[in-house]
Structure 1
Amino acid sequence: MISALLVSAIMSAPWPSLCSAAIALTLFGLGGLVYGGTVIRRARRQTYYKPERADWVWYALLPGSAYAAVAVAALSLGAYPCPALFATGAAALALLLIGIHNAWDTVVHIVVVRLPSEARE
């Protein structure tokens, strides 16, 4: 959810040119891909829970795709501004919805799995 807010802040800034906004968005997208790689690496190393297919989709594939879409849209911002802006908006919306889903999924996991197991101990 923070990512969607950051994209909105980048897009709302009074950039002197599209090139400056494109650089900021490209760095954001690449940073998101690096972060996604870190999440994947940590998910593979942890032993508490074995991620299922849906977890990989929601926590790795979809966010990685959204960050990649921001980076690609930013790189094409100078040549194709209108489609690039729509792609950036769609990716920001995707990041927001993914964040809401993942926060909800985390709360459900804590309430359904962790709290009952801690009560048994």
Structure 2
Amino acid sequence: MNPFVDWQNFYVIVGGAAGALTGLQFVVMALIADMPVEAHEIETANAFATPTIVHFSAALLFAASFAMPWGGHMLAARGLWVLGGVAGLGYVGHVTQRMRRQAGYKPVFEDWCFHSLLPGAGYAAIMVSAAGLSDKARETPLFAMAFALLLLLVVGIHNAWDNVTYLVLLRHQRADAQKARQAE
């Protein structure tokens, strides 16, 4: 019997939301695909847009893994989740470096929170809660894991909104500049 039966509805909801939000990000990217891109903006997109898809995908993968019939293979499940938390922490470190190196946008405190601190806390919570999961101790680690996945979803939603808002404003700014040049 699956030891996570009581949690399956929660993870179906989280996984479904993560999958839908990932798809929505692709729709947004398709809608702005005709927008001209300057060289420094590619670095900026790699630093700020790509992590959103990674966090949504991580939430989807973790949620889906909870619905798998692990049976007596709890050690394998725990190992997978610990490795996923470690990989997520490594990725957040990589994103933080990208944020520092890119020149297209100067990050503010909110950016550091939602692109480094909060995702890092989410992946750390996944790692620690998975390591603490056992046949005897399930409730606290499972609530910590659930909170971590919700945190990654909220971070992704916030960051997706920021990305779209920034791109729409940039598009309007460029259109206004082009109109001004044409009026001269």
Per the shorter chain, which TM-score range?
Answer: over 0.9
For residue 117 of structure 1, report the CA deviation from its aligned partner. Answer: 3.1
For residue 118 of structure 1, report the CA deviation from its aligned partner. Answer: 2.2
TM-score (norm 2): 0.62
Structure 2 residue 98 is the aligned partner of structure 1 residue 42 = yes
For residue 14 of structure 1, report the CA deviation from its aligned partner. Answer: 1.2
Task: Flag as ranges the 4+ runs of structure 1 deviating above 3 A.
Answer: none
Q: Over aligned residues, Cα RMSD in angstroms?
A: 1.2
Structure 2 residue 77 is the aligned partner of structure 1 residue 4 = no
Q: Which residue of structure 1 lines up, in the alignment, with residue 121 of structure 2?
A: 65
Which amino acid is 1:40 matched to? T
- The 8 Å contact of residues 10 and 24 in structure 1, kept in 2 or not, is answered as no
Structure 2 residue 68 is the aligned partner of structure 1 residue 13 = yes
For residue 65 of structure 1, report the CA deviation from its aligned partner. Answer: 0.3
Give the secondary structure class of the aligned counterpart of 2:106: coil
Q: Whole-Å Cα distance in 2 between the matches of residues 80 and 51 of structure 1?
A: 41
Q: Whole-Å Cα distance in 2 between the matches of residues 89 and 17 of structure 1?
A: 20
Consecutive unaligned residues of structure 1, counting only runs of 5 or more, are none
- The 8 Å contact of residues 29 and 70 in structure 1, kept in 2 or not, is answered as yes
Q: Whole-Å Cα distance in 1 between the matches of residues 140 and 73 of structure 2?
A: 17
Deviations 1:4-38 (CA, angstroms, capped at 9, x unpaired): 11110121111133211110100110010011011
- The 8 Å contact of residues 66 and 91 in structure 1, kept in 2 or not, is answered as yes
Q: Which residue of structure 2 lines up, in the alignment, with residue 22 of structure 1?
A: 78
- The 8 Å contact of residues 66 and 94 in structure 1, kept in 2 or not, is answered as yes
Deviations 1:83-120 (CA, angstroms, capped at 9, x unpaired): 111111111111111111110110001112x2133221
Q: Whole-Å Cα distance in 2 between the matches of residues 17 and 87 of structure 1?
A: 21
Q: Which is greater in Rg? A: 2
Q: Whole-Å Cα distance in 2 between the matches of residues 80 and 56 of structure 1?
A: 34
Give the secondary structure class of the aligned counterpart of 1:23: helix
Higher relative contact order (CA 8 A, sep 6+): 1
For residue 80 of structure 1, report the CA deviation from its aligned partner. Answer: 2.3
Which of 82, 94, 99 aligns to 2:139? It is: 82
Task: Name the % identity.
Answer: 42
